[in-house]
Chains A and B, each alone.
Chain A
Amino acid sequence: MANVLVVAELLEGKARKTTQSAITAAKQIAEGTGGSFDVLSIGDGAGAAAEELTGYGAGKVLKAEIPGGYTCEKYAATVAAAGKGYDVLVACASAFGKDLLPRVAAKLGAGVASDISAVHTEGGSLSYTRPMYAGNVFGTVAIKTDKQVVTVRQSEFGAAQESGGSSPVEEIAIQTDPAADKVEFLGVEVVKSERPDLSEADIVVAGGRALKSAENFTSIIEPLVDALGAAMGASRAACDAGYVAPELQVGQTGKVVAPKLYVAIGISGAIQHLAGMKGSKTIVAINKDKEAPIAQVADYFLVADLFEAVPALTEAVKKL
C-alpha cells in the first residue's frame, strides 16, 4: 500500500496544469497499491491554489504559504517535512519538479525516478518506465529506498479531471533551511501568450533554423500557428539564434510534446529534437531536403521551400 503526496506547481497563485498530470500518476500509484493520495500546495498564493485543488479526490490538500518568488532552497525543507508521512512523492517533470524534488529526495534519503512515462503496480510492488538516451531506450526501474520520489512526463500522463467531492484543506508549518539564505530571488520574467501552452496544445507548429530571423517567425510561422489555433515551438538552433524565446524549444533539453498534430517547418530532425516530439500522433514535415532525418518520423512530408509553402498552407487552412 503506497500513500502518495503530490507536490503542486503554482504559477502566479494558480496550479499549473502540470499538477493535474502529477495527480493522474499519483492516482495510478494509489489505486494500484490500495493506498491514497494527498496534494501539497506550496508557494506564493498556496492558500487560494489549495481551494482549486480540492475537487480531484485527494484525502486532503495541504497548504504551505511561502511568499515571494520560488527558490528550491525555500521550499525543499517544508516539502520534505510534509513528505515524511508518505511513501511516494510525485511532481511533474517540469523545470520546477526537476529542480525541487531531487533536493527533497536527498533530505529524505530517497531515490529518484525522474521523467517517468508509466507506472507499474503488478502484485502491489511499484516500478516505473522511463525514457533514457533521449528516448532511444526505455528502462523499467524500481526505487529501493524506504521513500520514493518520482517526477512524471506531462505528455504521458493526461490531466486529471475533477471528480467532485471536496478534500479538506489543512495548513502545515513552514520549515527553514540555512541554504535558503544563500539564494536571493531577484525576479522572474514570465512569458505571456494568448496561445495554448506548448505542453498542452493539440496542435504544435514548430520552426527551425531555416526561418533565418525572428521577423520570419512572425510573418511566416505565426499566421499558420494562429490559423490552426496551435502552440508555437522551435528547434534549439532557432532558440539559440534568438528567433524565438528559449522556452519554446522542443527536444531533449526543451519541452517534450505529444500533440495530435506536429508540423516541423525547416527543422532537420536531429536526434535531440526527435526526443521531444516523436510521440506526436501525426507528424508533418515541410523541408526542402527530402533526405532530412525528420523523414524517419514524419507521416506526411512536403518537399518545398517553406517561404512559399507555408503562406499557401496558411491560406488553405483558413478556407477550411
Chain B
Amino acid sequence: MKILVPIKRVADPDNASKLKVSADGKSVTSEGLEWKMNPFDDWSLEAALRLTENAAEKNARVGEVVLISIGPNDEHTQRIIREGLAKGAERGILVDGQDVGLDSDIVASVLKAVVDKESPDLVVMGKQAADGDSNVAGTKLAEKLGWPIINYAMKIKTNDDGKTLEVQRELDTGVATVKVTGPAVLTTSDRILQPGSVKNGVTPDDHQYAKLEVGGRYASLKGIMQAKKKPIDQMSLGDLGVDTTKALSYTKFELPPARSGETTFVEDVAELVDKLHNTAKVI
C-alpha cells in the first residue's frame, strides 16, 4: 500500500495566543514562535504508518509513505519533513510556495498534481491546518480526483492492503461506519491515536499500540539517523503546472478583544453559588 501524507508547517499551535497582527492589519506575524508540524497532519501520519507496517515485527515496513509539504523551501520546512521521515515515512516531496500565496483551492490543486504523478492508494491528511482552521483542502482534493472523501476517521480497517477499507468516522451526533473502495482521501480525528484504531491485516488484529497522549509517535534514534539519508524531492508550483489564482482574499486580521473583567477567586461552594445566583444571575 502506498500512502501520500501531506504535512504543513504551522506556527507553534500551543503558543497561538502569542501571535501578533501587523500594524496595518494585513498580516499575521508569528515571530518568536517555532515552526511545528501541523498536529492534525501528525495524527494522519501516525495512521498512515500503522497502515503500512507490521507492529508485531518491530514496525517492519510493508508499504510506502510519501510525505509532501507545500511551503517555503527553507530549513524549517525541510526539518519538518525530516521529522516525518524519522518517524518512518520513506521519502519526501517539498513544493516551494509561500503561505500568503496559498489557499485551500491551490493546495488541493497541488496535491492533485502530485497524486497524478505518484498514484498512491490513499491520501491520509489532517482535517484542518492549525493556522487557517479551514477544513476544506482534503474534501476538495477528493472531488478534483473523483475519489471518495472520508472525513474524521477514528478507526480504519483493511484486509486487502487498502483496496477496501472499513472506516468509522466521528459525527456531531455519533459515529458512522462506511465501507470505502479506494483510492480514497481520508482525514482523521483525535481518536485515530487510540491503541487499537488501525487494523491493516498484517499487524495482528489484537495488537495494541502504546497509548499516545497528544500527537503521533516519537522518532527513534535509529529513525533519526536513517532519515538523514532519505530523499526529499524539491519542486516548484510551476513544475506542477498548477493554477495559482486564489479563491479567497483576506483583507484584514485582528486579535480577539481582551477579556473584560477579572477572575474572582471564591472561597467555597457557598460563595460560588451566591455569585452565580445573585451577581451573574445565571443559575
Give the interface of A toward B (CB within 8 A).
11, 69-73, 76, 93-96, 98-99, 102-103, 105-107, 110-115, 127, 130-145, 178-179, 181-191, 199, 203, 228, 236-237, 239-240, 245-247, 249, 252-253, 255, 260-261, 270-272, 278, 281-282, 284, 290, 295-304, 309, 312-313, 316-317, 320
Give the interface of B toward A (CB within 8 A).
11, 13-17, 19, 21, 28, 40, 103-105, 108, 127, 130-136, 138-140, 142-144, 146-152, 154, 166, 170-182, 184, 189-191, 193-194, 213, 245-256, 259, 261, 263-266, 268-270, 272-273, 275-277, 280, 282-283
Closest B residue to A180 by beta carbon equals B148
Cα separation A316 to B193 with both chains bound (whole Å):
40
Cα separation A124 to B147 with both chains bound (whole Å):
38
Q: Number of contacts between A and B (CB, 8 Å)?
A: 265
Secondary structure call for the A interface: mixed
Point out the residue from B138, B182, B247, B251 that lies within 8 Å of A111, measured CB to CB.
B247
- 30 cross-chain CB contacts under 8 A: A71-B148, A72-B149, A73-B148, A76-B143, A102-B139, A103-B139, A103-B143, A106-B143, A114-B134, A132-B132, A136-B17, A137-B19, A137-B254, A138-B254, A138-B255, A139-B253, A141-B250, A141-B251, A143-B247, A185-B176, A185-B177, A188-B171, A190-B173, A199-B172, A246-B175, A271-B16, A300-B266, A304-B268, A316-B269, A317-B283
Cα separation A184 to B166 with both chains bound (whole Å):
9
Cα separation A132 to B128 with both chains bound (whole Å):
11
Cα separation A136 to B256 with both chains bound (whole Å):
6
Most buried by B among A136, A187, A281: A136
Secondary structure call for the B interface: mixed
* Chain B residues closer than 8 Å to A316, beta-carbon distance: 269-270, 273
Q: Are A320 and B253 in contact (CB under 8 A)?
A: no
Knowing that A106-B143, A284-B276 touch, tell me 11 more A-B residue pairs with CB under 8 angstroms: A105-B136, A132-B132, A140-B251, A144-B248, A182-B181, A183-B181, A239-B191, A261-B280, A261-B282, A304-B268, A317-B273
Instruction: Output the least CB separation between A240 and chain B (Å).
Output: 6
* Chain A residues closer than 8 Å to B11, beta-carbon distance: 133
* Chain B residues closer than 8 Å to A130, beta-carbon distance: 133
Q: Are B19 and A133 in contact (CB under 8 A)?
A: yes
Q: Are B180 and A300 in contact (CB under 8 A)?
A: no
* Chain A residues closer than 8 Å to B276, beta-carbon distance: 261, 282, 284, 300
Instruction: Output the least CB separation between B146 and chain A (Å).
Output: 6
Cα separation A301 to B275 with both chains bound (whole Å):
11
Closest B residue to A202 by beta carbon equals B282
Q: Are A103 and B142 in contact (CB under 8 A)?
A: yes
Q: Are B282 and A246 in contact (CB under 8 A)?
A: no
Closest B residue to A178 by beta carbon equals B146
Point out the residue from A112, A131, A281 that lies within 8 Å of B104, measured CB to CB.
A112
* Chain B residues closer than 8 Å to A188, beta-carbon distance: 171, 174-177
Q: Are A313 and B139 in contact (CB under 8 A)?
A: no
Point out the residue from B171, B181, B256 that lies within 8 Å of A135, measured CB to CB.
B256
